[in-house]
């Protein structure tokens, strides 16, 4: 038998040497890893400090940009309103020219009124208008010519109605006086598109050969008076 002190290991590296080596290498590796982490943390902290300094230096510029953007938005809104006001204007010269073409020769206009008003709807404004015609026409073709005029205006304007048709007792009972009201197209002011200019009325369509019937009872009652 051999004593413990006489036993020898067959390995080239003894267990005692391995333990001593590990006791030296492991703490060294941990120290190096910890040092690398500390250096990374320090570098990250420095980058963060630089970023905070840059952010604080850019803060006034950022606030200025925000104020300028708000000002630009306000100016754009004002420009849209002004553009809407411009494009929503009525082309009165066009409407008057069209009236000159559709009014029969037998009708004598006594009054022509164009009225406009601004209406607030939801969060924008619109411009609307009305047309009032008062005239005198010979009794022989009074109903026909007034119907022709109403039909022609109905092809151009949203709503047209004869409000009065009666004998002209003040001047000549053989004459008829009439009053006609028409609504003009509503045009947006705040949301008007600059690329599509809106007109007061559409282009004049040719007057049909046949005259559609209006309110026959209305004309009949007025002619009896």
Check if the beta carbon of residue 148 is closer than 8 Å to that of residue 207.
Answer: yes
Q: Is 95 part of a structural domain of the chain?
A: yes
Q: Is 101 part of a structural domain of the chain?
A: yes
Check if the beta carbon of residue 180 is closer than 8 Å to that of residue 163.
Answer: yes
Query: How many structural domains are present in the chain?
Result: 2
pLDDT of residue 220: 45
pLDDT in tens, 61-110: 888 999 999 999 999 888 887 887 888 777 788 888 888 888 888 888 89
pLDDT of residue 72: 93
pLDDT of residue 1: 55
Place of tokens 């026409």: 137
Q: Is 206 part of a structural domain of the chain?
A: yes
Q: Is 3 part of a structural domain of the chain?
A: no
Residue 177's CATH number: 3.30.980
Of the three residues 37, 54, 87, the one that is the final residue of a domain is 87
Name which of 139, 62, 136, 126 is nearest 103 in CA terms.
136
3-state SS, 3-29, equals: CHHHCCCCCCCCHHHHHHHHHHHHHHH
| Residue numbers of the chain with a pLDDT score lower than 70 | 1-18, 190-225
Of the three residues 44, 69, 87, the one that is the final residue of a domain is 87
The domain of 115 spans 90-224
Name which of 182, 180, 184, 163 is nearest 117 in CA terms.
184
Please give the Cα distance from 194 to 81 (Å, whole number).
10
Q: How many residues can be counted in the chain?
A: 225
Q: Is 1 part of a structural domain of the chain?
A: no
Q: Is 159 part of a structural domain of the chain?
A: yes
Residues 71 and 157 in one domain: no
Check if the beta carbon of residue 157 is closer than 8 Å to that of residue 183.
Answer: yes
Check if the beta carbon of residue 185 is closer than 8 Å to that of residue 198.
Answer: yes
Q: Is 6 part of a structural domain of the chain?
A: no
Please give the Cα distance from 184 to 207 (Å, whole number).
19
Please work out, in degrees rounded to the nearest 5, the angle formed at the alpha carbon of residue 144 by the alpha carbons of 133 and 204: 60
pLDDT of residue 26: 80
Residues 143 and 156 in one domain: yes
Beta-carbon contacts of 172 under 8 Å, excluding residues fewer than 6 positions away, are none
Q: Is 46 part of a structural domain of the chain?
A: yes
Residues 196 and 130 in one domain: yes
Of the three residues 43, 62, 87, the one that is the final residue of a domain is 87
Residue 221 corresponds to which tokens in the numbers above? 């009652």
């Amino acid at each position: 038998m051999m004593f413990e002190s006489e036993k020898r290991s067959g390995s080239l590296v003894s267990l005692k040497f391995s333990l001593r080596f590990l006791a030296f290498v492991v703490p060294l590796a941990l120290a190096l890893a910890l040092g690398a982490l500390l250096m990374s943390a320090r570098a990250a902290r420095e980058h963060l400090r630089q970023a905070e300094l840059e952010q604080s230096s850019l803060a006034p510029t950022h606030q200025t940009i925000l104020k300028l953007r708000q000002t630009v938005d306000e100016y754009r809104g004002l420009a849209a309103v002004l553009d809407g006001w411009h494009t929503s204007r009525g082309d009165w010269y066009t409407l008057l020219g069209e009236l000159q073409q559709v009014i029969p020769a037998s009708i004598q206009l006594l009054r022509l009124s164009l009225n406009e008003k601004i209406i607030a709807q939801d969060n924008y404004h619109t411009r609307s208008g009305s047309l009032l015609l008062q005239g005198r026409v010979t009794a022989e073709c009074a109903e026909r010519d007034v119907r022709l005029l109403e039909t022609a205006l109905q092809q151009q304007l949203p709503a047209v109605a004869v409000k009065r048709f009666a004998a002209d007792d003040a001047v000549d009972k053989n004459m008829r006086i009439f009053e006609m009201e028409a609504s003009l197209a509503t045009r947006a002011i705040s949301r008007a598109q600059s690329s599509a200019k809106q007109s007061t009325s559409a282009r004049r369509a040719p007057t049909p050969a046949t005259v559609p019937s209006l309110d026959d009872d209305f004309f009949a009652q007025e002619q009896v008076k």
